[in-house]
A and B are shown apart, each in its own frame.
Chain A
């Protein structure tokens, strides 16, 4: 049985989307089912190793797509598309899984809307998610529910923005770091 079929059988209705690019499989699962899906993948499908967790911001991607769509439809219908359904969720959390016995890799994608940044933490299943989740919180602002120590990792604690978001300028906003050693 191929990996695709096994994943389909394992996830059943939790599987929202399955894409393949250059041999890399990527499955999308609903956000509130992350924990169930991950433990199922670990126990039933054999994906017992978590290599990484990180976020993706799709803001620019959607903007570019909307621009393209506008060009195609012509300028007359410019005002109409605004009434369409709400935009797709802005962020994605990606989990890179690996099966140590079969050496297969799987990307798991969870879509996260901007107004609800809570994501269940997988640190209870794999402890290797500890720092990657902290970094994703630092860089994008996801709030991982159930994480033992969700503090900033790479940026300093008083930093307010989330630098890997697409609307954060490349050269920064002129923040300065004032070291405060007493807080430790």
Chain B
């Protein structure tokens, strides 16, 4: 999989900054998009003609959390985007919940590492 652009959906600015640094380390040419919660992400995705290659999705966010985002996102047609959860929660209940969404490919525990992105690019 060729990762051209990544959308980071996270309400925490430090985490956004961190993810951004790791992505740049992985491949400086990757275009980075930011959304601070599910709702903002949906709005941005709806407005984009070309969807990002990957969405890194946090769970706990204001307004619309990660799971709520996934539910809404699933309702939209023709969105073949790879989604990876990126969260500090290592709870099984969250992992199971995420696995139930077909579009979720990976479940990463923060902080993001270059290795994770490499693994995804191999899919």
A and B bound?
no
Instruction: Give chain A's interface residues, CB within 8 Å of chain B.
Output: none
Instruction: Give chain B's interface residues, CB within 8 Å of chain A.
Output: none
